Amino acid sequence: MNSYLDRIKNVLMIALIISVAAQINIDAPHVAPGFVFAIDVIVLDVFIFCFLDKYTAMQIALISAVFSPTFRFITSMKAGVSMVENAVNCFPDAIFFIIYGIIISLCVKAYMGRRIPLLNFCISVFLADFLGNIIEVYFMSIIRADNFVTMYMFNTLLVIALARTGISLFIIVTMEYYMHVQTERAHNRKIQFMVNQSVTIADEMRFILNNKEDVERVLKEAYALHTDMKDADMPEEFTKRALEIARGTHEIKGCYQEILDTLDNLNRNAHGEPDLLMSEILKFMKSNILKTAAAKHMDVEFEIDQRMDYKVSESYKTISILRNLTVNALEAFEGSDGKIRVMVAWCRYSSIGPCHRIEVEDNGPGIDEADTETIFLPGYSTKMNMDTGFVQRGLGLSLVRDYVENDFGGRIRVKNRKDGGTRFVIEIPPSKFEEETRWIFTS
């Protein structure tokens, strides 16, 4: 019941808007006495196109046939004009809406519930506008016992129908384009969120998997220590503590395994790893970095120097590599403005042979020369809060090297730029990094 009332309310609201739009008109007494050209037909075209899946064209047309002439009759009452004369001027307009509704309904019926192509809809609208006005003028001729059907009238109505249809088409195309852009933006935001989540999960799984090996080593050492202490007749208090360490480590190992299983299930139930071009990944990175910089009120310039394009074989790992490096560059600015540059090119000669070369550089403060070898170690971090003593876990660059060297068979180096800042250079052989036959060279 509520749904039915809502439908009626919405149709009445549409008819009211069309009736108000009918008040914006131009008198056309040269066509017929009391005849006007109004923009209500344009509004009617747009409403029917937009709500065709919810309301029938005949519903909107019939209610408009009641509302629009009545509204015009009330607002056009003037001194010296009788009610009969005013009614003769206004109410034939209802004929137009009825004919309009019939023609559009026949068009809709011809497509039997399928979406009407925009061109066909516009042709139907033009015919409905043109024929509706002709029949309205003919009806006025009968009422006034005069002949207003002339070639001049035909030509005028033809031009008006073409003009109103053209304006309707422009409005509909503009609306469709706007909706397409908004939908695409929403889709891209959804994809970016999904990719970010999936990459984060994959990174955490890699961290935990690496740490799990350390936990297993500690577990073996703790249990071996317990056995050795027991064999050496050490005090029972010490052997129990060693055993408790082994048991606690075993519990941690079990928790790690549960977390790994949960994350693995999440990734398996996701939509799968997208098939992305390097250009799409770079665009994705740029958007993320600029949003992060804007949130921190930083004015950061992100430059992409891409000399070739190709599909990467493992997009999540590639995104993780670039994300860690660009986020590190952003954090190096320490809240001030800066510039990040990412270069992607083909290198014919390198220590690993022909390879893909990726450079990520910034104009930040750079890295202490003594730290250039240690920054890739797990747990290393230069990001320490001197007030709280909190140190970030520093696993980003360790993960980057893990992916580059162990998964892609490449190598990564870091060096300070002569004019200030840091440059990371990654070299990856194409056999493990890209899909074959998908090279797309850029200008």
Contact 217, 249 (CB under 8 A): no
- Beta strands 338-347 and 300-306 are parallel
Q: Read off the pLDDT of each residue in 68-97 and give the average, rounded to a whole number.
A: 76
- Quote the tokens at residue 279: 């250009």
DSSP, collapsed to helix, strand or coil, labels residue 335 as coil
pLDDT tens for 271-300 read: 556 678 888 889 888 888 888 888 888 888
Among 140-154, 169-183, 214-228, whose mean pLDDT is lowest?
214-228
pLDDT band at 303 (very low <50, low <70, confident <90, very high): very high
Residues 6 or more apart from 128 whose CB is under 8 A from it? Answer: 99, 100, 103, 104
Task: List 345's β-bridge partners, or say none.
Answer: 357
For the segment 327-334, the average pLDDT, to the nearest whole number, is 84
Say if CB 324 and CB 381 are below 8 A apart: no
Cα(first)–Cα(last) distance of the chain, in Å? 62
- Only one residue has tokens 């990944």, namely 281
Long-range contacts of 283-286 (CB under 8 A, 24+ apart): 284/192, 284/195, 284/319, 285/319, 285/322, 285/323, 285/326, 285/342
Higher confidence at residue 11 or residue 127?
Answer: 127
In terms of average pLDDT, the best of 45-49, 85-89, 203-207, 278-282 is 278-282
Q: Are 139 and 32 in contact (CB under 8 A)?
A: no
Question: What's the CA gap between 94 and 356, in Å, rounded?
Answer: 71
101 CB burial (10 A radius; 0-12, 13-18, 19+): buried
pLDDT tens digits along 226-275: 777 777 777 777 777 777 777 777 677 667 666 666 666 655 555 556 67
Instruction: Give residue 120's pLDDT band: very low, low, confident or very high (50, 70, 90).
Output: confident
| pLDDT > 80? residue 312 | yes
The pLDDT score that the predictor gives to residue 88 is 74
* pLDDT confidence tier of residue 426, bands split at 50, 70 and 90: very high
Q: CA 377, 382, 383, 388 torsion: positive or negative?
A: positive
Q: Average pLDDT, stretch 89-100?
A: 82
Cα 16 from chain centroid (whole Å): 35
pLDDT digits (tens, 9 = 90+) for 392-403: 434 478 888 888
Residue 78's pLDDT band (cuts 50, 70, 90): low
Q: Which position has the higher pLDDT, 411 or 34?
A: 411
Q: Taking residues 74-99, what's their average pLDDT?
A: 76
Mean pLDDT for 365-386 is 64
- Dihedral sign for Cα atoms in the order 233, 236, 241, 243: positive
* 343 phi and psi angles, rounded to 5 deg: -115, 130
Distance CA 106, CA 108 (A): 5
Side-chain-facing half-sphere of 176: CA atoms under 13 Å: 11
Q: Are 428 and 356 in contact (CB under 8 A)?
A: yes
pLDDT at 424: 92
Res 168 pLDDT > 90: no
**Range with lowest mean pLDDT among 30-34, 176-180, 222-226, 404-408:** 30-34
- pLDDT band at residue 194 under the 50/70/90 scheme: low
At residue 388 the predicted structure's pLDDT band, cuts being 50, 70 and 90, is very low
Percent of the chain past pLDDT 90, that is, above it, reads: 5
Q: Which residues contact 417 (CB under 8 A, 6 or more apart)?
A: 361, 363, 366, 423
